[in-house]
Structure 1
Amino acid sequence: MITAGVDAVLDPRADWWGAAWSLPWWLACGAALAWIVLRVREKAARRPPYGGVQGDWEQAA
């Protein structure tokens, strides 16, 4: 009885399957877009060091 219920819910011919199969792709694209926006905002909010303080890369060079 449990397998019949699972088979009925996970059947590819179910009405909701057409929208749900692409959901992971939409979520992945949305997460990537959100990460890009947040990363750009983080970099824009970061201020360069003041005075004679150099960054690690400049100091190593």
Structure 2
Amino acid sequence: MIPDRFRLTDQVAVITGAGRGIGAAAPSLLEAGGSIVEVDACLQAPNLEPGLPDL
């Protein structure tokens, strides 16, 4: 459960370097109600997948 003061409803997070460790934050940002855009300069990034599982 996300406390109201940490809700991200109507907010967009741009995650740069998403194919590396910081991309692991994406599910938490979605759970908090935000929308995300994942970006990584490396097309072969090991952790960057075309979609995230439904929460």
Bigger RCO (CA 8 Å, 6+ sep):
2
Common topology (TM > 0.5): no
Greater strand proportion: 2
Q: TM-score, normalised by structure 2?
A: 0.24
Indicate the structure with greater helix content: 1
**TM-score w.r.t. structure 1 length?**
0.23
CA radius of gyration, larger in: 1
